[in-house]
Amino acid sequence: MNKRPAYKRILLKLSGEAMQGQQGHGIDAETCASLAAQIKEIWQAGVDVALVVGGGNIFRGQLESKRFGLDRSVADYMGMLATVLNGLALQNALEQLDVSTRVITAIDMHAVAEPYIRRRAMRHLEKRRVIIFVAGTGNPYFTTDTAAALRAKEIGAEVILKATKVDGVYSADPVKDKSAKKFSQLEFIDVLNKHLKVMDATAISMCMDNNLPIVVFDLTKKGNIKKVVFGETIGTTVK
Protein backbone atom coordinates (compact mmCIF):
# COMPACT_ATOMS: atom_id res chain seq x y z
CA MET A 1 0.00 0.00 0.00
CA ASN A 2 1.22 3.50 -0.80
CA LYS A 3 2.31 5.72 2.09
CA ARG A 4 0.24 8.60 0.77
CA PRO A 5 -3.42 8.68 -0.32
CA ALA A 6 -4.01 8.39 -4.06
CA TYR A 7 -6.77 10.99 -3.86
CA LYS A 8 -7.11 14.37 -2.18
CA ARG A 9 -10.92 14.55 -2.29
CA ILE A 10 -13.33 11.63 -2.59
CA LEU A 11 -17.05 10.97 -2.57
CA LEU A 12 -17.98 7.73 -0.84
CA LYS A 13 -21.35 6.30 -1.92
CA LEU A 14 -22.88 4.10 0.76
CA SER A 15 -26.03 2.11 0.14
CA GLY A 16 -28.68 1.99 2.82
CA GLU A 17 -28.04 -1.76 3.05
CA ALA A 18 -24.49 -0.98 4.20
CA MET A 19 -26.00 0.47 7.38
CA GLN A 20 -28.06 -2.55 8.34
CA GLY A 21 -25.21 -4.99 9.00
CA GLN A 22 -26.34 -8.54 9.51
CA GLN A 23 -29.74 -7.69 10.97
CA GLY A 24 -31.39 -7.31 7.55
CA HIS A 25 -33.13 -3.98 8.14
CA GLY A 26 -32.80 -0.67 9.94
CA ILE A 27 -29.56 0.78 11.30
CA ASP A 28 -27.04 -1.47 13.05
CA ALA A 29 -25.09 0.49 15.68
CA GLU A 30 -22.00 -1.73 15.47
CA THR A 31 -21.84 -1.44 11.66
CA CYS A 32 -22.33 2.31 11.88
CA ALA A 33 -19.46 2.61 14.38
CA SER A 34 -17.19 0.50 12.17
CA LEU A 35 -17.94 2.65 9.13
CA ALA A 36 -17.22 5.79 11.14
CA ALA A 37 -13.87 4.43 12.32
CA GLN A 38 -12.83 3.61 8.74
CA ILE A 39 -13.91 7.03 7.51
CA LYS A 40 -11.99 8.71 10.32
CA GLU A 41 -8.85 6.82 9.28
CA ILE A 42 -8.81 8.28 5.77
CA TRP A 43 -9.92 11.70 7.02
CA GLN A 44 -6.94 11.74 9.39
CA ALA A 45 -4.69 10.94 6.44
CA GLY A 46 -5.64 14.33 4.98
CA VAL A 47 -8.34 13.23 2.52
CA ASP A 48 -11.40 15.45 2.07
CA VAL A 49 -14.39 13.16 2.54
CA ALA A 50 -17.96 13.58 1.33
CA LEU A 51 -20.60 10.88 1.70
CA VAL A 52 -23.83 10.15 -0.10
CA VAL A 53 -25.97 7.64 1.74
CA GLY A 54 -28.97 5.69 0.47
CA GLY A 55 -32.08 4.67 2.39
CA GLY A 56 -32.85 1.14 1.19
CA ASN A 57 -32.44 -0.34 4.67
CA ILE A 58 -35.50 1.66 5.76
CA PHE A 59 -37.59 2.45 2.68
CA ARG A 60 -36.92 1.93 -1.02
CA GLY A 61 -39.19 4.23 -3.02
CA GLN A 62 -39.40 2.44 -6.36
CA LEU A 63 -40.02 -0.97 -4.78
CA GLU A 64 -42.45 0.20 -2.12
CA SER A 65 -44.51 2.22 -4.60
CA LYS A 66 -45.37 -1.04 -6.36
CA ARG A 67 -45.96 -3.03 -3.18
CA PHE A 68 -48.29 -0.53 -1.54
CA GLY A 69 -49.73 1.17 -4.60
CA LEU A 70 -48.16 4.47 -3.63
CA ASP A 71 -47.72 7.28 -6.11
CA ARG A 72 -44.10 7.03 -7.26
CA SER A 73 -43.32 10.64 -6.33
CA VAL A 74 -44.67 10.13 -2.80
CA ALA A 75 -42.71 6.90 -2.42
CA ASP A 76 -39.50 8.55 -3.61
CA TYR A 77 -39.90 11.40 -1.13
CA MET A 78 -40.37 8.83 1.63
CA GLY A 79 -37.15 7.17 0.48
CA MET A 80 -35.35 10.52 0.63
CA LEU A 81 -36.44 10.95 4.23
CA ALA A 82 -35.00 7.50 5.00
CA THR A 83 -31.59 8.71 3.81
CA VAL A 84 -31.78 11.53 6.35
CA LEU A 85 -32.15 9.01 9.19
CA ASN A 86 -29.05 7.18 7.96
CA GLY A 87 -27.12 10.42 7.57
CA LEU A 88 -27.89 11.51 11.13
CA ALA A 89 -26.84 8.09 12.46
CA LEU A 90 -23.52 8.36 10.61
CA GLN A 91 -23.02 11.90 11.85
CA ASN A 92 -23.51 10.77 15.43
CA ALA A 93 -21.08 7.87 15.01
CA LEU A 94 -18.42 10.13 13.47
CA GLU A 95 -18.76 12.86 16.07
CA GLN A 96 -18.38 10.29 18.84
CA LEU A 97 -14.91 9.79 17.32
CA ASP A 98 -14.24 13.54 17.33
CA VAL A 99 -14.69 13.94 13.58
CA SER A 100 -16.28 17.26 12.67
CA THR A 101 -19.24 16.73 10.33
CA ARG A 102 -22.11 18.46 8.59
CA VAL A 103 -25.29 16.81 7.30
CA ILE A 104 -26.44 18.59 4.15
CA THR A 105 -29.90 17.94 2.74
CA ALA A 106 -31.46 18.52 -0.66
CA ILE A 107 -34.85 18.98 1.04
CA ASP A 108 -35.10 21.84 3.52
CA MET A 109 -35.40 20.69 7.14
CA HIS A 110 -33.53 23.33 9.11
CA ALA A 111 -34.01 21.69 12.50
CA VAL A 112 -31.88 18.67 11.62
CA ALA A 113 -29.61 19.50 8.66
CA GLU A 114 -28.22 22.32 6.54
CA PRO A 115 -29.79 23.05 3.14
CA TYR A 116 -27.55 22.25 0.20
CA ILE A 117 -25.57 25.30 -0.95
CA ARG A 118 -22.53 24.42 -3.02
CA ARG A 119 -20.30 27.22 -1.74
CA ARG A 120 -21.11 26.32 1.85
CA ALA A 121 -20.37 22.65 1.21
CA MET A 122 -17.00 23.58 -0.32
CA ARG A 123 -16.21 25.73 2.70
CA HIS A 124 -16.94 22.83 5.07
CA LEU A 125 -14.47 20.67 3.16
CA GLU A 126 -11.86 23.42 3.32
CA LYS A 127 -12.38 23.49 7.10
CA ARG A 128 -11.72 19.72 7.20
CA ARG A 129 -15.27 18.66 7.96
CA VAL A 130 -16.76 15.42 6.67
CA ILE A 131 -19.94 16.25 4.80
CA ILE A 132 -22.87 13.85 4.52
CA PHE A 133 -25.26 14.50 1.65
CA VAL A 134 -28.80 13.25 2.26
CA ALA A 135 -32.21 13.35 0.53
CA GLY A 136 -30.70 12.47 -2.85
CA THR A 137 -31.09 15.24 -5.40
CA GLY A 138 -34.32 16.42 -3.75
CA ASN A 139 -36.30 15.21 -6.77
CA PRO A 140 -38.36 12.05 -7.31
CA TYR A 141 -37.36 9.59 -10.05
CA PHE A 142 -33.65 10.15 -9.38
CA THR A 143 -31.60 7.66 -7.38
CA THR A 144 -28.90 8.32 -4.79
CA ASP A 145 -26.44 7.05 -7.42
CA THR A 146 -27.34 10.05 -9.54
CA ALA A 147 -27.05 12.26 -6.46
CA ALA A 148 -23.55 10.86 -5.88
CA ALA A 149 -22.45 11.67 -9.44
CA LEU A 150 -23.95 15.16 -9.25
CA ARG A 151 -22.49 16.08 -5.87
CA ALA A 152 -19.09 14.60 -6.72
CA LYS A 153 -18.74 16.91 -9.70
CA GLU A 154 -20.07 19.91 -7.82
CA ILE A 155 -17.51 19.61 -5.01
CA GLY A 156 -14.59 18.65 -7.27
CA ALA A 157 -14.16 15.06 -6.04
CA GLU A 158 -11.54 13.08 -7.94
CA VAL A 159 -13.38 9.77 -7.72
CA ILE A 160 -16.59 8.10 -6.59
CA LEU A 161 -16.01 5.13 -4.31
CA LYS A 162 -19.04 2.88 -4.61
CA ALA A 163 -19.20 0.59 -1.58
CA THR A 164 -21.10 -2.68 -2.17
CA LYS A 165 -21.52 -6.19 -0.79
CA VAL A 166 -19.42 -7.80 -3.55
CA ASP A 167 -15.77 -7.34 -4.49
CA GLY A 168 -16.34 -5.63 -7.83
CA VAL A 169 -18.42 -5.74 -10.99
CA TYR A 170 -19.26 -9.13 -12.53
CA SER A 171 -20.73 -10.20 -15.86
CA ALA A 172 -23.63 -11.75 -13.90
CA ASP A 173 -24.70 -12.17 -10.29
CA PRO A 174 -21.79 -14.15 -8.75
CA VAL A 175 -24.08 -15.61 -6.09
CA LYS A 176 -26.43 -17.11 -8.68
CA ASP A 177 -23.93 -17.76 -11.49
CA LYS A 178 -20.63 -19.36 -10.47
CA SER A 179 -19.22 -18.80 -13.95
CA ALA A 180 -19.67 -15.03 -13.67
CA LYS A 181 -16.54 -13.13 -14.70
CA LYS A 182 -15.16 -10.33 -12.54
CA PHE A 183 -13.90 -7.21 -14.32
CA SER A 184 -10.86 -5.38 -12.94
CA GLN A 185 -11.40 -2.42 -15.29
CA LEU A 186 -14.28 -1.25 -17.45
CA GLU A 187 -15.09 1.67 -19.68
CA PHE A 188 -18.28 3.62 -19.09
CA ILE A 189 -19.68 2.71 -22.49
CA ASP A 190 -19.25 -1.01 -21.72
CA VAL A 191 -21.24 -0.61 -18.51
CA LEU A 192 -24.08 0.99 -20.45
CA ASN A 193 -23.99 -1.42 -23.40
CA LYS A 194 -23.79 -4.55 -21.24
CA HIS A 195 -26.33 -3.26 -18.70
CA LEU A 196 -23.92 -4.00 -15.86
CA LYS A 197 -25.17 -3.14 -12.39
CA VAL A 198 -22.65 -0.53 -11.32
CA MET A 199 -24.89 2.52 -10.94
CA ASP A 200 -28.03 3.54 -12.77
CA ALA A 201 -27.71 4.69 -16.38
CA THR A 202 -28.22 8.36 -15.55
CA ALA A 203 -25.36 8.33 -13.04
CA ILE A 204 -23.06 6.40 -15.40
CA SER A 205 -23.78 8.79 -18.26
CA MET A 206 -23.05 11.78 -16.03
CA CYS A 207 -19.73 10.28 -14.91
CA MET A 208 -18.81 9.41 -18.50
CA ASP A 209 -19.61 12.91 -19.78
CA ASN A 210 -17.50 14.46 -17.01
CA ASN A 211 -14.65 11.95 -16.94
CA LEU A 212 -15.28 11.03 -13.30
CA PRO A 213 -13.96 7.55 -12.41
CA ILE A 214 -15.83 5.08 -10.20
CA VAL A 215 -14.25 2.38 -8.04
CA VAL A 216 -16.62 -0.42 -7.00
CA PHE A 217 -15.35 -2.40 -4.01
CA ASP A 218 -16.41 -4.69 -1.18
CA LEU A 219 -17.35 -2.74 1.95
CA THR A 220 -17.87 -5.84 4.09
CA LYS A 221 -14.10 -6.37 4.43
CA LYS A 222 -12.83 -4.01 7.09
CA GLY A 223 -10.02 -1.78 5.88
CA ASN A 224 -11.05 -1.78 2.23
CA ILE A 225 -11.95 1.93 2.26
CA LYS A 226 -8.39 2.79 3.24
CA LYS A 227 -6.95 0.37 0.67
CA VAL A 228 -8.91 1.99 -2.16
CA VAL A 229 -8.07 5.54 -1.04
CA PHE A 230 -4.37 4.66 -0.81
CA GLY A 231 -4.34 3.30 -4.36
CA GLU A 232 -4.40 -0.43 -3.79
CA THR A 233 -5.92 -2.29 -6.73
CA ILE A 234 -9.09 -3.89 -5.45
CA GLY A 235 -12.59 -4.12 -6.86
CA THR A 236 -13.42 -2.73 -10.29
CA THR A 237 -12.44 0.64 -11.73
CA VAL A 238 -14.77 2.24 -14.27
CA LYS A 239 -13.28 5.11 -16.27
Q: Is residue 179 part of a domain?
A: yes
pLDDT at 135 (0 to 100):
97
Q: How far apart are CA 226 and CA 199, in angstroms?
A: 22
Q: Is residue 2 part of a domain?
A: no
Q: Is residue 4 part of a domain?
A: no
Contact 36, 90 (CB under 8 A): yes
Overall residue count recorded for the chain in this entry = 239
pLDDT at 1 (0 to 100):
66
Q: Is residue 1 part of a domain?
A: no
Q: Supply the CATH number for residue 175's domain.
A: 3.40.1160.10
Q: How far apart are CA 69 and CA 11, in angstroms?
A: 34
What percent of the chain lies above the pLDDT cut of 90? 76
**Mean predicted lDDT score pLDDT of the chain:** 93
Q: Is residue 3 part of a domain?
A: no
- State the pLDDT confidence band at 235, using cuts at 50, 70 and 90: very high
**Region for 129 from its dihedrals, namely left if φ exceeds 0, alpha if ψ lies in -120 to 50, beta otherwise:** beta
pLDDT at 178 (0 to 100):
81
Q: Is residue 219 part of a domain?
A: yes
User: For 8, what's the count of Cα atoms within 13 Å in the CB-facing half-sphere?
Assistant: 4
Asked whether the predicted pLDDT for residue 34 surpasses 70, the reply is yes
Q: Is residue 42 part of a domain?
A: yes
- Digit-coded pLDDT (tens) for 185-209: 999 999 999 989 889 999 999 999 9
Q: Is residue 131 part of a domain?
A: yes
Which residues contact residue 135 at a Cβ distance below 8 angstroms, ignoring those fewer than 6 apart? 80, 81, 83, 84, 105, 106, 107
Look up the domain containing 155 and give its range.
9-238
**Number of independent structural domains in the chain:** 1
Contact 183, 168 (CB under 8 A): yes
- Digit-coded pLDDT (tens) for 72-98: 899 999 999 999 999 999 999 999 999
- Digit-coded pLDDT (tens) for 104-161: 999 999 999 999 999 999 999 999 999 999 999 999 999 999 999 999 999 999 999 9
**Residue 226's Cα: distance from chain center in Å?**
15
